[in-house]
Structure formats: structure tokens, C-alpha cells
Amino acid sequence: MTALQHLATRYDVIVVGAGPAGMGAAVGALEGGVDRVLVVDREIEAGGILNQCIHSGFGLHHFGEELTGPEYAQRFLEQLLERDIEIATDCYVLDVAHDRTVTLMSPEIGVRRVAAGSVVLAMGARERTRGAIRIPGSRPAGVMTAGLAQRLVNQIGVLPGRRAVILGSGDIGLIMARRMTLEGIDVPGVFEIMTHANGLTRNIVQCLHDFDIPLHLSTTVVEIHGRDRVEQVTVAPVDDRLRPDLSRARTIACDTLLLSIGLIPENELSQKLGIRIDPATAGPVVSSAMETSRDGVFAGGNVVHIHDLVDFVTQESLLAGESAARFVTGRRRPADNIRLVAGSNVASVVPHTISSDSDHTVYLRVRRPLEKSWLRLGDVYERRLRYVVPAELVTLTVRPRFLERFHGDSLVIDIVPRDEPGRYEE
Ligand SMILES: Cc1cc2nc3c(=O)[nH]c(=O)nc-3n(C[C@H](O)[C@H](O)[C@H](O)COP(=O)(O)OP(=O)(O)OC[C@H]3O[C@@H](n4cnc5c(N)ncnc54)[C@H](O)[C@@H]3O)c2cc1C
């Protein structure tokens, strides 16, 4: 850790955020050949969102073991400490300037400017709130995001209520449905406006089915009732244009409404820096080296796009850190020569560009579920997919041999129903 009073005036790489992305980027930077790395986080402890995720399910890909969130964070924290990477906690990054001067603020040192050879943005994401979906009704206590409830229960030791309805079937809501049931809070149901659940299948099974918590698809909360505290909510089914059918509305008594309606990448710093943002991900447009549109500024983790598994956050941010080190030491990889374009049933693609001379991991999010599909990379490569859902990222390793017959500069990626034969099949 850094005693903030001993902060240097210049670092090779400064990482903003000490969640799994920030810690992965710091390790990647060191492995990439620099030795003066600073990681900054506004929280008192490093670890990011993992510190409040006390359930298991983390690290199956990266460590080959099932860890809890704090255990996963601890593994990285130990690596940072062993390698003398400096960590400044309880310290807010106010600004990253075009010349990569980073402005910090902490109760210990006040405001301080520190120069960086390169910067990695790893600020994570925040939850969407009631305002984002404009639920009508009064504004009583007891309406909160699922992540806040998770922090209250798991870190502060306070129950958010006694009977909680959950709106949205994102992973945090599913995990909290189980967590609250275990704590003796009654959960009458999870309500999801879409026709499909928005969380990982394993969470639907382990958090709802195993605890007999009903999931109501194509249903939403249309009104919140209560003066000081939530007393009940009205729920109604929606049609295929998501319009509620109020003739079939019903009320449910509860004192808490948890919202699990999505995460938004935390990109205020990126926007101030003038970095190009992809409207599909709400995160920076990045190259295959995880470099943003601003020279020497890299990004990884939820700040770039929302991940379902922390292992992919780690994979991506190790690369961002290594690339940040390469930038500082003048060993940048050649520029990308292919732009990836989201095609049919693909909502987003990260990274946004790749090169044809090395392997690249590409993350795709589909728009709608498909039972059996083809993943197609232009007309040069195709692969069978069994079951795709918007909640689970599809990963694809693009190899130079796939691109031998490709001569353009934009490659469209489609994920289409497998009701037609494969192009390259017998
Ligand atoms: C409830 C929940 C359950 C999950 N369950 C699983 C699971 O079972 N298995 C799994 O693999 N994954 C799971 N995930 C996903 C995984 O935890 C996230 O993908 C991962 O934590 C994202 O890492 P990150 O570093 O990008 O962001 P975060 O962990 O959010 O870290 C970002 C950090 O940046 C800091 N920061 C932001 N802005 C600033 C600033 N201006 N100055 C200083 N610091 C700043 C924040 O304080 C924070 O510490 C879950 C996520 C949630 C929310």
C-alpha cells in the first residue's frame, strides 16, 4: 500500500480503480516491463464490487477453482503487494488530462497532480436506478438497487426490509433473491419485463429454482404505493411492445422493492477526456490492445462493457495493463487493420478493431436468445453455437488463419438461427 504522503510525482502507469480490472491491469503492466505502477481507488479497501459478493462462483476460468468475491480479490491484492505495486485507497481520481496528468483527491493529502506515462481506466460500472425507468407512484423509503441491498446485508450487517419484491432479473437481483431468503426476508417474486431472464442460467437455477422463488417474465412494476415506507407494489403483464395490460394488474404487499435493471459503465472521466464512446456498450471504443481513442489511455473491465464473469474482466485488463507498459517503453504493437462490426442479432462487439496477424479474444453480446445458431465472421469463418442469451457474453478467438481469405477492412459478425445449412458444410 502507499502511504499517500510518499506519493511520487510521476509513475510509468497509473490505474484508476482497484477492482479486479484495476488490479489485473497493474499486474499486466508490471509483466509488460515497467516498474512504477500506482493503483488508485476511492474506496477504503481495494477489491471493487467483489468485496460485497460473498457468494462463490468466481475464478473458475482464471484460477480453475470456485472462489468467493473477496477471495478472488485477495489473490490479486497479494500479487500487487508482493510486487511492490503502490495502491492508494480512499483517494478519488478527479481528472485525467490530455497529457495524462492525473488529479487525485484524498482526505489525507488533499488535491495532488501526478504524471503518468500511460493510464488505465478501470472505474467499473454503477447500477441503474428508479429514475432510469421512471416507475410511477410515491417516493417512499424501501426502494433501492439490488447492489445497495447487497452492501447493506453483506458488508454493513443491516437487513433492507422484511418482504422484498425484485424488479429485473439481472444477476445481482437473482443473487440477492437467494441471499435475502437465507436471511429470513420473504421474496414473493422476481418480475422481468422481457420475455427472457437477464441473468446467467446458473443463477436462475441456483438462486431462484433451488429456493422456489417464482420468476414472472413479461411482467413489470407499474406503481409503487406507500407514504413513508413502501407498502405494496402493483405489477402487470406487458404485451410484445412492452405496454402494461392494466386490466390484469395485481398488487403485492411488500416493504422493499429491489431494482436489478442493469449496470452502466462509469465513464465520466472518459467523457471529460474526450474519449470516443460506443453507444452500444456505453464504454470506450477500444483497439485489440484495449487502447481508447486517446493516445496512451487504456481501459478494461466493466468500464468498457458489462461482463458476466470476473475471469473475463481479468483477462481483458491484464492485456490493458501490458499494452499500457508497452506504450511507455516504446514497444507498441502495430496498429489494427480490421474494424469489427456488430451485425445481425449482435448488440455489441469488444474490441472494436483487431489485427490480422495475431490471435484476439472478441466478446459479443446478442440481442435475443437463440436455441441453435451460427456465429459468422463475414464470409470467412463460421461456428455452431448451442444456446445464446443476452445475459451471457459469447467469446470468440479470432485467429490469423480465419482471415487468410479476407481482404477488406470491416468484418461483420452475425449470430443467426441455424435453420439454414452451414456455408462450409459438406
Ligand atoms: C452483485 C454482483 C454479483 C456478481 N457475481 C459474479 C459471479 O458470481 N461470478 C463472476 O465471475 N462475476 C460476478 N460478478 C461480476 C464481477 O464482479 C464484475 O464483473 C467485476 O467486479 C467488474 O470489475 P471492475 O474492476 O471492472 O469493476 P468494479 O469491481 O466495480 O471496480 C471498479 C473500482 O473503481 C473504483 N472507482 C471508480 N471511479 C473511481 C474514481 N473516479 N476514482 C477512484 N476510484 C474509482 C471503484 O471504487 C471500484 O472499486 C458480479 C457482479 C455483481 C455486481
Angle (CA) 356 358 359, round 5°: 110
Structural fold of domain 338-417: Immunoglobulin-like (2.60.40)
Q: Which of 120, 204, 260, 310, when mutated, tests ligand 1's pocket best, judged by the most ligand atoms within 8 Å of its CB?
A: 310
Could you tell me the distance, in angstroms and rounded to a whole number, from the CA of residue 312 to the centre of ligand 1? 12
Helix (H) or strand (E) holding 369: none
Find the helix or strand (DSSP H, E) in which 294 lies.
Answer: none
Q: For the chain, give percent helix, strand, coil, nearest 5.
A: 25, 35, 40
46-74 residues labelled b (16+ CB within 10 A) or e (exposed): bbbbbbbbbbebbbeebeeeebbbbbbbb
* Residue closest to 277 by CA, chosen among 382, 370, 350: 350
123 lines ligand 1 (CB under 6 A): yes
* Beta strand segments in 230-296, E: 232-237, 250-253, 256-259, 263-265, 277-278, 283-284
Which mutation among 14, 43, 53, 112 tests ligand 1's pocket best, with the greatest number of atoms within 8 A of CB?
53
150 lines ligand 1 (CB under 6 A): yes
What are the residues facing 120 on neighbouring strands? 15, 298
pTM (predicted TM-score): 0.94
pLDDT per residue rounded down to tens, the chain (426 residues): 566 778 999 999 999 999 999 999 999 999 999 999 999 999 999 999 999 999 998 999 999 999 999 999 999 999 999 999 999 999 999 999 999 999 999 999 999 999 999 999 999 999 998 888 888 888 899 999 999 999 999 999 999 999 999 999 989 999 999 999 999 999 999 999 999 988 888 899 999 999 999 999 999 999 999 999 999 999 999 999 999 999 999 999 999 999 999 999 999 999 999 999 999 999 999 999 999 999 999 999 999 999 989 999 999 999 999 999 999 999 999 999 999 999 999 999 999 999 999 999 999 999 999 999 999 999 899 999 999 999 899 999 999 999 988 888 999 999 999 876 666 654
Q: Is 70 in the pocket of ligand 1 (CB under 6 A)?
A: no
- 4-126+264-328 and 338-417 agree in CATH topology: no
Q: How far is CA 194 from CA 25, 141, 218, 237, 261, in A?
A: 35, 27, 5, 10, 11
- To which CATH superfamily is domain 4-126+264-328 assigned? FAD/NAD(P)-binding domain (3.50.50.60)
Closest residue by Cα to atom 52, ligand 1, is: 172
Architecture of domain 129-261: 3-Layer(bba) Sandwich (3.50)
Q: Is 172 in the pocket of ligand 1 (CB under 6 A)?
A: yes
Domain ranges for the chain, please list them. 4-126+264-328, 129-261, 338-417
Residue nearest to atom 11 of ligand 1 (CA): 309
Side-by-side strand order, sheet with 346-350: 346-350, 360-366, 394-398
* Ligand 1 closest atom vs CA 43: 47
